[in-house]
């Protein structure tokens, strides 16, 4: 499924986010921290793409750069065919309504001084979607009911709710402006297992009812398997594998993907050593210092994310020897 003009709802093209660092003491040179280093991906409308990888690989930075919450160093992001990085703020404003964010922390993401009605309804007022307080209260009541809460909950403060209920409030806030795309940044990782299932089922139901598109960031591969149609694996700021979910779990193509799956299913460490520093990434394939299959070529040549012989026609892998 694509948008009406035949392009994916979201297209990320060679996106880089590099942060400046202070020069080291004793006359050392500063190196840019390459949090996101040349990421490209397409997300068709109505689909859910899971983005997985170890902590610190750049997943959340990528998500925030897509929405222009932080500046990108280079690259392009297209939403419904519009280049978000070249649009002036006036033209970007209506597109922002269609792109929303559900944050990881259901406690820190809600203003403790505001009642739920204000938290959920504030964007309605800012964007001029309601004209009176009565209209806003009615719309907030609808949104709260949509996520399994009651209209009376609008009069309460965030501290009066459990973690799962707070995340429902965050989801209601994201739905307020009737978005097309919602980026979910680890939306269930801070919740109890039983509550995680409830929130995942809620997100799945909302997607079905409203035709939503999700970019779903997660550590838990079982969660990704449950909710995502495709999976992209990120390592040291780059996408190293992108595949349909069934193919991803049945026949992973990248050694890093196989290590992640092994760790998730056997509860044993699937990788040796720590990831290299994004301040000083290794030459060639960024995974080669930890890869049990590394060859001399891996130390010098950067593998491109592309289709590989011997793998699924829809599976792209950044590994010189994938499929062999």
Contact criterion met (CB below 8 Å) for 232 and 39 = no
Predicted pLDDT at 5: 54
pLDDT for 266: 59
CB 240 within 8 A of CB 254: yes
- Percentage, residues of the chain above pLDDT 90: 74
Tens of pLDDT along 138-191? 999 999 999 999 999 999 999 999 999 999 999 999 999 999 999 999 999 888
The mean pLDDT of the chain is 91
Q: List, for residues 68-85, the tens digit of each pLDDT value.
A: 999 999 999 999 999 999
Measuring CA to CA, which residue among 249, 244, 275, 274 is closest to residue 261?
Answer: 249
**Which residues is 316 bridged to in the sheet?**
242, 307
How far apart (Å, rounded) are the C-alpha atoms in residues 166 and 159? 9
Quote the CA–CA distance of 107 and 86 in Å, as a whole number: 34
pTM score, whole prediction = 0.91
**Would the pLDDT of 8 be above 70?**
yes
Select the more confidently predicted residue: 94 or 49: 49
Within 8 A by CB and 6+ apart from 231, the residues are 49, 50, 51, 52, 224, 241, 242, 243, 244, 245, 248
| Lookup: tokens for 239 | 């996408």
Distance CA 256, CA 303 (A): 14
Q: Round to the nearest angstrom and report the end-to-end CA distance of the chain.
A: 32
């Amino acid at each position: 499924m694509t948008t009406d003009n035949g392009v994916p709802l979201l297209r990320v093209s060679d996106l880089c986010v590099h942060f400046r660092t202070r020069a080291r003491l004793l006359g050392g040179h500063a190196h840019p921290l390459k949090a996101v280093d040349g990421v490209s991906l397409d997300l068709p409308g109505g689909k859910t793409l899971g983005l997985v990888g170890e902590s610190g690989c750049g997943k959340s930075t990528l998500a925030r750069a897509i929405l222009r919450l932080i500046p990108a160093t280079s690259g392009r992001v297209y939403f419904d065919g519009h280049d978000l990085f070249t649009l002036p703020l006036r033209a970007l404003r209506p597109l922002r309504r269609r792109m929303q964010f559900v944050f990881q922390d259901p406690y820190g993401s809600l203003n403790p001084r505001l009642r739920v009605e204000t938290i959920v309804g504030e964007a309605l007022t800012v964007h001029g979607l309601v004209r009176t307080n009565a209209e806003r209260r009615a719309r907030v009541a609808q949104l709260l009911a949509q996520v399994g809460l009651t209209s009376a909950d609008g009069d309460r403060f965030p501290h009066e709710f459990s973690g799962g209920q707070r995340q429902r409030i965050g989801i209601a806030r994201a739905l307020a402006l009737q978005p097309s795309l919602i980026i979910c940044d680890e939306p269930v990782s801070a919740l109890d297992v039983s509550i995680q299932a409830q929130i995942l089922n809620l997100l799945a139901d909302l997607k079905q009812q409203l035709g939503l598109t999700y970019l779903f960031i997660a550590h838990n591969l079982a969660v990704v398997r449950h909710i995502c149609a495709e999976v992209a694996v990120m390592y040291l700021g780059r996408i190293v594998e992108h595949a349909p979910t069934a193919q991803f779990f049945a026949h992973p193509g990248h050694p890093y993907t196989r290590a992640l799956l092994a760790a998730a299913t056997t509860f044993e460490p699937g990788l040796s050593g720590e990831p290299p520093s994004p301040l000083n990434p290794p030459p060639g394939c960024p995974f080669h210092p930890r890869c049990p299959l590394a060859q001399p070529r891996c130390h010098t040549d950067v593998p491109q994310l592309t289709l590989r012989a011997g793998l699924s026609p829809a599976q792209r892998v950044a590994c010189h020897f994938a499929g062999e």
